[in-house]
């Protein structure tokens, strides 16, 4: 029997926190909670959790800062932000700090469970994936150690690169990337922007000139295509 996935929920609102505990225990997760930012950060750093659900507005340290500090220690720790704010700016900030996903309050519990399952599924894959990705511009990406030279990638960025790499003979639509890399069954306009934000971040890391991308090209009307070095 496989072990239960361990989840940390950092949320100061008791009603939401208790509701989430009930739902995830029901779905077979082992759940721990924190209601204060600093306690949550301490638990996150020492608890060896499979995934952390992180509220943004917390007493003590806010969720963005917690996410930032978790990332300094462990780039691969899966984190989903729970945000009451749904403006683009907050979502961009959360993703820039390295959250794997965000769910805007009020959220559907069913959808949150699906998102958690999708993130956990992704963090367990890729054993058979290519160790090195050779891009057309000479950049070599180490998909196991999540880096290209001194440049580090988040788990989500690498998942995106690996998916594009496997489909490198064709452009991949943003909707397909949302479904296959993020696990979204349905998407809204704001969520397709999530793909664009991640592509922009990747271009800043792997392109010589991000304004004139050679490695991740935009194919008008079709999506994004990763350009590999000819063998
Ligand atoms: Ca809160």
Q: What is the pLDDT of residue 1?
A: 33
63 alpha carbon – ligand 1 mean position (Å): 9
Q: Which residue has the tokens 């271009």?
A: 203
Residues 30 and 107 grouped into a single domain:
yes
55 alpha carbon – ligand 1 mean position (Å): 6
Mean pLDDT of 168-188: 80
82 alpha carbon – ligand 1 mean position (Å): 9
Final residue belonging to a domain, choices 71, 103, 121:
121
4-59, pLDDT tens digit by residue? 789 999 999 999 999 999 999 988 899 999 999 999 999 999 888 989 999 988 99
194 alpha carbon – ligand 1 mean position (Å): 23
12 alpha carbon – ligand 1 mean position (Å): 5
State yes or no: pLDDT of 231 exceeds 70: no
4 alpha carbon – ligand 1 mean position (Å): 27
Partner residues linked to 120 by β-bridges: none
Give the domain range for residue 190.
127-226
Gap between the Cα atoms of 208 and 203, Å rounded: 9
H or E element that contains 37: helix 37-46
3-class DSSP state for residue 135? strand
3-class DSSP state for residue 46? helix
H or E element that contains 96: helix 88-96
State yes or no: pLDDT of 189 exceeds 50: yes
DSSP at 143 = T
CA distances from residue 108 to 6, 34, 158, 190 in whole angstroms, order as listed: 21, 21, 28, 17
Q: Which residue has the tokens 């592509």?
A: 199
Annotate 186-230 with three-state secondary structure: CCCHHHHHHHHHHHHHHHHHHCCCCCCCCCEEEECCCEEEECECC
State yes or no: pLDDT of 94 exceeds 80: no
pLDDT top residue among 126 and 153: 153
70-87, pLDDT tens digit by residue? 988 887 789 998 887 666
How far the first Cα of the chain sits from its last, in Å, is: 43
pLDDT, the chain, mean: 85
Band of the pLDDT at 101, cuts 50, 70, 90? confident
Residues 152 and 203 grouped into a single domain:
yes
Q: Edge-to-edge strands of the sheet including 140-142?
A: 132-134, 140-142, 147-148, 151-152
List the one residue out of 25, 152, 55, 2 whose CA is nearest residue 44.
55
Question: Do the domain assignments include residue 1?
Answer: no
66 alpha carbon – ligand 1 mean position (Å): 13
Q: What is the pLDDT of residue 104?
A: 81
Final residue belonging to a domain, choices 121, 140, 165:
121
Final residue belonging to a domain, choices 58, 87, 121:
121
Residues 109 and 131 grouped into a single domain:
no
47 alpha carbon – ligand 1 mean position (Å): 21
Question: Do the domain assignments include residue 192?
Answer: yes
11 alpha carbon – ligand 1 mean position (Å): 6
36 alpha carbon – ligand 1 mean position (Å): 9
State yes or no: pLDDT of 125 exceeds 60: no
54 alpha carbon – ligand 1 mean position (Å): 9
Band of the pLDDT at 168, cuts 50, 70, 90? confident
13 alpha carbon – ligand 1 mean position (Å): 6
């Amino acid at each position: 029997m496989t072990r239960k996935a361990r989840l940390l929920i950092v949320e100061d609102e008791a009603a939401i926190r208790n509701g989430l505990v009930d739902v995830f225990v029901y779905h077979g997760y082992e759940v721990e909670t924190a209601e204060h930012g600093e306690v949550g950060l301490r638990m996150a750093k020492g608890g060896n959790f499979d995934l952390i659900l992180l509220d943004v507005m917390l007493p003590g340290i806010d969720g963005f800062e917690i996410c930032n500090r978790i990332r300094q220690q462990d780039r691969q720790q899966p984190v989903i932000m729970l945000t009451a704010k749904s403006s683009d700016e907050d979502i961009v900030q959360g993703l820039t700090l390295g959250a794997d996903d965000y769910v805007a309050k009020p959220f559907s519990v069913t959808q949150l469970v699906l998102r958690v399952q999708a993130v956990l599924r992704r963090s367990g894959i890729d054993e058979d994936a290519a160790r090195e990705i050779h891009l057309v511009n000479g950049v070599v990406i180490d998909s196991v150690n999540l880096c290209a030279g001194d440049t580090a990638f988040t788990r989500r960025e690498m998942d995106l690169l690996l998916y594009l790499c496997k489909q490198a003979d064709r452009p991949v639509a943003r909707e397909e990337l949302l479904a296959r890399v993020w696990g979204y069954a349905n998407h809204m306009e704001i969520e397709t922007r999530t793909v664009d934000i991640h592509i922009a971040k990747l271009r800043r890391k792997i392109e010589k000139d991000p304004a004139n991308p050679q490695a991740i090209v935009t194919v008008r009307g079709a999506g994004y295509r990763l350009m590999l070095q000819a063998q």
